[in-house]
Structure 1
Amino acid sequence: MSTTFEKVKSFFRNQNIYKVLRTNPILVKVNQHYRNKIETAKRESVHKYGLESLQLTKESFQEIKRDFWLDWGTLLGAIRERGFIGHDADIDVGTFFTGNEDAKKLEKSMKKRGFIKSREFWMDGKIVEETYIYNGVNLDVFYYYPGEDKEKIICYSSEEGEDRVYENRDDSTIVTRLKVERVTAPFTGLTLMELLGEQFPVPENYHQYLQNYYGSTYLVKNEKWEWNNRKDRDILPYRDNTRAVLFKI
């Protein structure tokens, strides 16, 4: 993508006109068509290269001697489908935050295995989420922190919001003024679960864990389920302590 295009896009994003353009019916339809094509391609990549990307991710964590586990929709697929969910467009794994230096060690190990880093989300000077790409597969790494309860863990998810600001740079776009959702999950330890013939770590209390994320009916397929439609979301009050880095690849 050209630098000029990025600068123009960044400019309009930071103007009030961008909000108007986003609500234009024709542009909304065009944008949705474009997004649908992207999501279809991402789903196809998950089913073609998802297992390979997880195997390489497991090797990376083993190399840096850190635990990880299948998370979110990838965990749901492993439990409910014994594979990947048909409409899932990315791979999710969780791990404990043990410092930015360890996160950089993971990045080095992942890149050595062919991954490209596309995004990272920072809060209070710590990496809390990042995305890698492997053969078209988007793999999200969520960093978890201890909760107040010893059997609870916390991660953070960025929310774009209407007040975000974009700053274009040579190698990346910096996004600030993000909203943040705090997500708390029950966690008692790890066990192994088979996914497409391979063993991967999962939360040992995966039933309770998935109920916490997807509700008591998580074993029933629902392709229209939307994360943003959940009740009792814990959206944090805005503070100028977050930034996302979108790398140009």
Structure 2
Amino acid sequence: MLKQIARNILGDNIVKRINTKIQRFAMLMYGEKAIAEFDTVFRSLKLDYWLAFGTLLGAYREKDFIKNDDDIDTAMYCTDITPEVIDKLEEKGFIFEHAILTDDNLYCQISFKYHGVSFDIYGFRKGLSSEKLITGFIPRALHDKNWTEAFNLNKFKILLVNMNYDGFVDTHFKNLIVSIPRNSEVFLRKHYGDDFMTPIPGKKGSSRETICEIPIEKLTASIVTREQLFERLIK
């Protein structure tokens, strides 16, 4: 209600700019701590995780977040997603916001807040199309909708992202040791292009070498509750 009132008074663009500044400040203050706590949980549970997408790019290229990054992307195997994982993260201060689940119940994205930091976990699966690939899911708004409209409609298109699998290694990130894919350079080059080591403001990964868009007539995704996630997600 308050967010809608703010939009009505200030306009969507001004509200968006304000929210972006708030998120970037939260990243500056708590981004490193969020990853540290996340890493602690997964190592204590002896589960694989890895930094993903823009957070992986920053870790590989700069040993830090990329400039103006306003969220954190991580990944794990869908088969490891359990209530215990969520419980342990909540004990560390993560607040579960929502999960987006594909309608075939194979892939999900789980979103948290950590002291204002937007923190996403992308669920991947290994060996569905090839033993050398792991595949995950990125939700996107439908072609004629924005993100808010997609949430209100509760319907998202599906981008599947493929990454060659060769295990994971530890690397330095700010003052931390974190987990990244062993072949991060290969994925980042395919996903962001040969110039991925050069900072280019606003550039996003969209390569056909890594991304496959599923027709909405075939399959979509929707927001589910925590309980629905664990009832439906295929292990």
TM-score (norm 1): 0.77
* Structure-2 residue corresponding to 1:43: 24
Are 1:234 and 2:212 an aligned pair?
A: yes
Q: By how many angstroms is 1:163 displaced?
A: 7.3
RMSD: 2.7
TM-score (norm 2): 0.81
Report if aligned partners of 1:103, 1:127 keep a CA contact under 8 Å in 2: no
After TM superposition, list the pairs within 5 Å mapping 1:150-169 onto structure 2. 150-161=131-142
* Structure-1 residue corresponding to 2:177: 199
After TM superposition, list the pairs within 5 Å mapping 1:115-194 onto structure 2. 115-123=94-102, 124-126=104-106, 128-147=108-127, 148-161=129-142, 175-194=153-172
Secondary structure (helix, strand or coil) at the match of 1:130 reads strand
Choose from 38, 44, 52 the match for 1:63: 44
1:84–1:246 distance in 2 versus 1, CA, 3 Å: farther
Q: By how many angstroms is 1:187 displaced?
A: 2.0
Tell me, in whole angstroms, the C-alpha distance in 2 between the residues paired with 1:163 and 1:240.
17
- What percentage of aligned pairs have identical amino acids? 21
Are 1:244 and 2:190 an aligned pair?
A: no
- Render the CA deviation track for 1:20-50: whole Å, top value 9, x for unaligned: xxxxxxx9x9312211211121112112111
Q: By how many angstroms is 1:149 displaced?
A: 2.2
Mind listing any 5+ residue stretches in structure 2 that lack a counterpart? Answer: 146-150, 227-235
* Structure-2 residue corresponding to 1:76: 57
Choose from 190, 196, 221 the match for 2:199: 221
1:39–1:126 distance in 2 versus 1, CA, 3 Å: same
Q: By how many angstroms is 1:162 displaced?
A: 5.2
1:192–1:231 distance in 2 versus 1, CA, 3 Å: closer
Report if aligned partners of 1:152, 1:185 keep a CA contact under 8 Å in 2: yes
Instruction: Give the number of equivalent residue pairs.
Output: 214
Looking at CA atoms only, which structure, 1 or 2, has the larger radius of gyration? 1
